[in-house]
Structure 1
Amino acid sequence: MAKPLLTLDGGTTCSSWNYCGERLAAGSVDGTLSIFDFRDPASSSYLRSTFKSKIHEGNIVKVVWLPPEYGDAVACIFADGIMSLWEEVAKDSQPFQWNMCKSFGSSSMKVLDVQFGISLTILKMVTAYSDGYVRVYELLDPLELKSWQLQAEFQNVIDSVSTSGKASCLSASVSWNMQKGGSQESSFIVGYNSNTSELNSSKVWEFDQAHQRWLPVAEMVLPEDKGDQVYAVAWAPNIGRPNETIAVATSKGLAIWNLGLNPDHDGRLPVERIALLPGHEGEVWQMEWDTSGMTLATVGHDGMVRLWQSNLNGAWHQQAAFKPTS
């Protein structure tokens, strides 16, 4: 029988494990950030609370851990569009404390999603904003998480577009290709839920070193579905497949895409939708792949957690579904 490791407080809106699976960060509707640790990681017996504090006047809607090479730090996105970075540090022989080191966003330019990746040994932060722009930041000093510099900003479009009125985006989703990085330029996918159809479809962006700019190299959408709002995207880890696998959730359902690795003469990568699953009854809120890239977990408006896998013939299906108990 499954044994619960922790029961989170009522009002918890989001949670996230760190890269090692030894620490859990949780955000609450009242702006409280909580950090939990395994007392003995080797036995994984239970989690204990090591930090709990109200860090903002408002709902925390997402918590994201930074890569472990940069210490223990999290990014918190709040319902009002502000994002802040929090780092666990020790000062003057005092116990470790969590301190805010940087904030982004405003009431007119809200942060909707954020992801971190390492490219050419530099930590990069991709942020999707409510004005429809993607902004990529670089960390100038690996020992100072407040030393960020804007590296690029662009709209999530294939070609330049002029729209009447300002883009209004309700949500966005970003996912890094974690197989690249280190000594390589990374790539990521981003999709929007907005009033501007050109922004919505999920697009893969890759940095062109020769021209020093980010370029769209693939678009995960069928011609008849262009403009559909995107709720979530998730790039699967690759342990040897000849192509990349990406999940995209829209109002049409949960789509599984194959992304080829060999670009055509225009620099675009081939894409193929290999499955369209019924998904949840309503929006998909979050998607996560396991470390093998073989199983996809999704949670949505219907309150269900669903696991998806492909069989030996490559056909995708729902492997299990869970409804959290109170």
Structure 2
Amino acid sequence: MFVARSIAADHKDLIHDVSYDFHGRRMATCSSDQSIKVWDKGDNGEWNCTASWKTHSGSVWRVTWAHPEFGQVLASCSFDRTAIVWEEIVGESNDKQRGQSHWIKRTTLVDSRTSVTDVKFAPKHMGLMLTTCSADGVVRIYEAPDVMNLSQWSLQHEISSKLSCSCISWNPSSSRAHAPMIAVGSDDSNVTYGGKVQIYEYNEVTRKYAKAETLMTVTDAVHDIAFAPNLGRSFHVLAIATKDVRIFKLVPLRKDSSSSAPTKFEVQVLAQFDSHNSQVWRVSWNITSTILASSGDDGCVRLWKANYMDNWKCTGILKGDGSPVYGSSGQPGALSGVLGSAAAQSALNGATGR
């Protein structure tokens, strides 16, 4: 049984994002109070705040961890139109309380003219790369040419999506058969305009990102988007948080390897759930992509799992206060250990909008 723990986060305003590190032993939170807090999990299972600092001059929308291969590195983005890269330094400051870590600003990315709504590190096999998206509809991809010097970042790509961007997700597949791919979601309020999710793919011939697919059936504002971890599948699975939860399957169609045209996909809807009966704010996969967690304005986290027939069903519900929701049988939903830190992230993210 999954045991929920409540944490007195002590933020002074809405918490917009919660992010776990690769091992699930560290956690970062960000808030409209313009601060980030870092939490470490003790041997007793309790979370202790080891760092807290003011980061931006506006609401902090997202915070995310780099892969530990690159050190203890965080990135955050804000309404103040910037994204910032932070690095933890140990033993350089004597005036800090014992046990408190010291995070320093390595660089501020100031290319956006509007609110930076999401920030994500690229998959580890691509090197140290960082992607941002903004309300002005531009996705920017930066690279740190020297991983030992995080103050230097170069802008590699700018992708104009024509719609205000709200969220991004990298396809984590490291297969050589799959080109680097980014999904971009839009929270544009114009419901008559379809295609609120766009897929961009890197082309080795042109050395640019080009639009490969638009999911025209997604017409409502998209709040979160997440590619499922790909452990060798030939196709891709994408979860979307909008007014409901949707899971799409993207099957690449065969193409000429020398062609500069992007891959075309056969798009299938695997599942669509309106069980939250409200806006869905976050979707998050476990590491094996067998369970999807979603959180919504109903104050619940719901867990979705597919059976051997590939039919997706709700396997557990958790209220915002951590208590399980009991079904008609009187038994709580099955919140087993396979939940993992990725799914628990949705539980902690809460249903906070912008």
The one-letter code of the counterpart of 1:300 is G
- For residue 156 of structure 1, report the CA deviation from its aligned partner: 2.2
Whether the aligned pair in 1 keeps the contact of 2:196 and 2:215 (CA below 8 Å) is yes
The one-letter code of the counterpart of 1:124 is M
The one-letter code of the counterpart of 1:257 is F
- For residue 260 of structure 1, report the CA deviation from its aligned partner: 1.1
Aligned to 2:267: 271
- For residue 264 of structure 1, report the CA deviation from its aligned partner: 4.6
2:14 is equivalent to residue 15 of structure 1: no
2:246 is equivalent to residue 255 of structure 1: yes
The one-letter code of the counterpart of 2:309 is N
- For residue 28 of structure 1, report the CA deviation from its aligned partner: 3.0
Deviation by residue 1:183-227 (Cα, 9 ceiling, x = unmatched):
9852121111125776952122221111111122223333xx5x4
Aligned to 1:32: 35
Q: Matches of 1:134 and 1:308 in 2, distance apart?
A: 30
Deviation by residue 1:62-117 (Cα, 9 ceiling, x = unmatched):
21111212111111222334322211024658575101112234784221111111
SS in 2 for 1:69: helix
Q: Matches of 1:188 and 1:32 in 2, distance apart?
A: 28
Within the candidate set 234, 240, 244, 2:236 is matched to 244
Q: Matches of 1:57 and 1:134 in 2, distance apart?
A: 22
Map 1:299-310 to 2 at 5 A.
299-310=295-306
Structural RMSD (CA): 2.9
Map 1:1-326 to 2 at 5 A.
2=3, 4=5, 6-9=7-10, 11=13, 13=15, 14-40=17-43, 45-90=45-90, 96-105=101-110, 108-118=113-123, 121-156=126-161, 169=164, 172-180=166-174, 185-194=179-188, 200-222=195-217, 225=218, 227-251=219-243, 253-264=244-255, 267-325=263-321
User: Relative to 1, partners in 2 of residues 1:107 and 1:269: Cα closer, same or farther, differing over 3 Å?
Assistant: closer
Deviation by residue 1:294-315 (Cα, 9 ceiling, x = unmatched):
1111112222211111223221
Paired-residue identity, %: 27
Whether the aligned pair in 1 keeps the contact of 2:87 and 2:103 (CA below 8 Å) is yes
Higher relative contact order (CA 8 A, sep 6+): 2
Q: Matches of 1:122 and 1:29 in 2, distance apart?
A: 31
Q: Matches of 1:269 and 1:263 in 2, distance apart?
A: 9
User: Relative to 1, partners in 2 of residues 1:151 and 1:57: Cα closer, same or farther, differing over 3 Å?
Assistant: closer
Number of residues of Structure 1 aligned to a counterpart in Structure 2: 308
Which runs of no fewer than 5 residues in structure 2 stay unpaired? 323-354
- For residue 8 of structure 1, report the CA deviation from its aligned partner: 2.4
Deviation by residue 1:216-249 (Cα, 9 ceiling, x = unmatched):
2223333xx5x44322211001234442111123
User: Relative to 1, partners in 2 of residues 1:316 and 1:257: Cα closer, same or farther, differing over 3 Å?
Assistant: same
Q: Normalization by structure 1: what TM-score?
A: 0.83
SS in 2 for 1:260: strand
Which runs of no fewer than 5 residues in structure 1 stay unpaired? 158-166
Greater fraction strand: 1
Aligned to 2:325: none
